[in-house]
Amino acid sequence: MPHPDMEWMNLFGLRYTDEAVTDFLSKQPPHKADKPSDGSQYVVCEQGGFDLLFDTRHAQASSTSNRQDRRLSGIFFYNDGVDKHQRYPGPLPLGFDFADGRPGLLHKHTPERTWVIGEGRVPVDHPEPDHDRWDFAPLQVSAHYGDDGVEILYFVVSQPSGKPEWKPAETWQSLALLPDRKADAIKLYREKHNVGVAEAKRAVEQHAAQAAR
């Protein structure tokens, strides 16, 4: 059962003009609705420390989806000073708090995914992740960090996108570290450097050996 001060949990899937949304916003500090862009629209409440994201992800699987039928799919809760927002003062999912920092969050709950931009999914013990994500059925919550990988800049509570998880393109360097993909690594090295098999094989083996040290 949602926390009594987490009224926003009941707003997912509703339009900006729906009565429950307008009633919720009427009890918050002043906000502004940005101009829609690419099927998305943000409602920004800097004094309240949060933004609402309305988009069409609910209808993306339909060939007849209406790009004007935007519904709430995500809420951003900000730390003080982030994107000109004041710190969100209300309770957060899973008992999280901005003061926890990443170590405190991990102590409370183990994330189901840790992420680095450009690399994708990484081990939870990665020293400088961009964000962690936890299940918060039927939603999900993610914590996004500063450059040190510790300070919490903001939380996002969202509906699952339903899209396949992004994965980085394979490179000869990454494949060289996988014993069963050595042949693929050699092939990619040859294509990239226009060299023979022997030279590519030597480069791949050297890279794997250095990484194993």
Residues 118-148: tens digit of each pLDDT: 888 899 998 889 999 999 999 999 999 999 8
For residue 74, which of 95, 58, 94 has the smallest C-alpha distance? 58
DSSP assignment of 132-201 equals EEEEETTEEEEEEE-TTS-SEEEEEEE----SPPP-PPP-HHHHHTSGGGHHHHHHHHHHHHT--HHHHH
Helix (H, G, I), strand (E, B) or coil at 43: strand
What would the mean pLDDT of 165-174 be, rounded to a whole number?
A: 82
3-state helix, strand, coil in the chain (%, to 5): 30, 25, 45
What tokens were used for 43?
């409602």
Integer-rounded Cα Rg, in Å, for the chain is 22
Q: Which residue has the higher pLDDT, 110 or 172?
A: 110
150 and 177 both lie in a single domain: no
Residue 126 lies in a domain: yes
78 and 33 both lie in a single domain: yes
| 164 has pLDDT over 70 | yes
58 and 134 both lie in a single domain: yes
57 and 142 both lie in a single domain: yes
Model pLDDT, residue 65? 52
206 and 114 both lie in a single domain: no
148 and 177 both lie in a single domain: no
Q: Residue holding tokens 């450009």?
A: 118
Number of domains in the chain: 2
Residue 99 lies in a domain: yes
What would the mean pLDDT of 15-27 be, rounded to a whole number?
A: 96
Find the domain containing 12 and state its range.
Answer: 7-158
pLDDT tens digits along 29-83: 999 999 998 889 999 999 999 999 999 886 655 554 566 789 999 999 999 999 9
46 and 95 both lie in a single domain: yes
Sheet holding 71-78, edge to edge: 32-33, 41-45, 50-55, 71-78, 152-158, 139-145, 131-136, 113-116, 120-122
Residue 38 lies in a domain: yes
* Position 1 confidence tier, pLDDT thresholds 50, 70, 90: very low
Model pLDDT, residue 2? 52
Residue 167 lies in a domain: no
Model pLDDT, residue 168? 76
Helix (H, G, I), strand (E, B) or coil at 120: strand
55 and 145 both lie in a single domain: yes
179 and 154 both lie in a single domain: no
Distance between CA 76 and CA 193 in Å, rounded? 45
Distance between CA 112 and CA 35 in Å, rounded? 34
128 and 184 both lie in a single domain: no
Residue 166 lies in a domain: no
Residue 2 lies in a domain: no
88 and 139 both lie in a single domain: yes
Domain boundary among 114, 129, 158: 158
pLDDT more than 70, % of the chain: 93
Model pLDDT, residue 44? 98
pLDDT tens digits along 88-122: 999 999 999 999 999 999 999 999 999 998 888 89
Measured CA angle at 81 (ends 20, 101), to 5 deg: 90
- Give pTM, 2 decimals: 0.80
125 and 25 both lie in a single domain: yes
Residue 163 lies in a domain: no
Mean pLDDT of the chain: 90
